[in-house]
Amino acid sequence: MKFRFPAALNIAALLLTSLQAVAQTPEAAAPAKAAGMSSQQIMFWVLISLLIFLLLVLLLSFVGIAVQMRPQLRKVYELPTVRHSWSGRVLGLLVGDATLVKGEVRDELLDHDYDGIHEFDNDLPPWWKYSFYATIIFAVTYVGYYHVAQAGQLQGAEYETEMRQAALLVSPDADDPNKLTTYQPLATPADLSEGKSLFASNCAACHGQNAEGKVGPNLTDEYWLHGGEVNHVYKTVKFGVTSKGMVAWKGKLSGKQILQVSSYILSLQGTKPAGAKEPQGEKETAGKPVVKL
């Protein structure tokens, strides 16, 4: 098996020249435009493919030369002045000796044993030590870059930046959790009655029949975890708070029904039901809907 590297280069050069000539002809340019690629893009990918081809040729040539010269390389490797040198260990990889990676195993027992268990005096394999050294270099570089020079963002700051960028991409419509609505509390008896029915069938299991609080917080006092104004309550009911077990009622209740429930909740302010749960959150006086009879 003989590889002629100059001949391979000549073939590659002729191939490149012919491809350039083909790419410049109108017949070749028409399919390129039809496919949406310019002639420069075609030439780029042709050159990349040619580079990969040349690298494969070089690799095959190197392997072929190493295989043909393996007996001569073995004789050079067996020389005492070569075998134990760094270049000799690299040469050993070509002739099948992986000492550079695996290390040398010495069957030498240490002069102590524990319950009949003997210990060999072997070093750690080079691949393990190289990996350990790489982790040390990485750790020093990481600390210097992020903590000393402060050239990069830590995970917390990076997360906040990504969240701010994501907020800019959210569509500003009614389904945007970052955009607060501008509703007014419903105050008619019909709306509050409907809100009461919806509350009893959907919310009472967690907040109690009188909103005194069970698993969820008490909704009749002046303390709120996520805001006590009607639009904050509306947002909490619609989108939920999954981290605290509050489910999102979006898709289960209509916008009108969510506003009716929110208005009914605000109408319960100051009712002081029996067995009310202790206050949670921050104090906030919410405007109660005024029922117009």
Average pLDDT, the chain: 79
Kindly report which listed range (88-102, 122-136, 179-193, 206-220) carries the lowest average pLDDT score. Answer: 88-102
Q: Where are the beta strands (DSSP E) in the chain?
A: 109-114, 117-120, 223-224, 282-283
Task: Single out the residue of 220, 227, 215 nearest to residue 279, CA to CA.
Answer: 220
Residue 236 pLDDT greater than 80, yes or no: yes
> CA torsion sign, 217 to 219 to 221 to 224?
positive
Length of the chain: 293
Place of tokens 């524990």: 114
pLDDT at 254: 92
Residue 11 pLDDT greater than 90, yes or no: no
Which CATH number does 189-283 carry? 1.10.760.10
pLDDT at 31: 42
| Alpha-carbon span 121 to 129, nearest angstrom | 16
> Is the pLDDT higher at 181 or at 32?
181
Residue 293 pLDDT greater than 80, yes or no: no
pLDDT at 176: 74
- The string of pLDDT tens digits covering residues 166-186 is 766 655 566 777 778 889 999
The DSSP annotation for 67-79 comes to HHTHHHHHHHHTS
| Alpha-carbon span 177 to 232, nearest angstrom | 11
| Alpha-carbon span 86 to 93, nearest angstrom | 11
Average pLDDT over residues 240-248: 88
Amino acid at 197: S
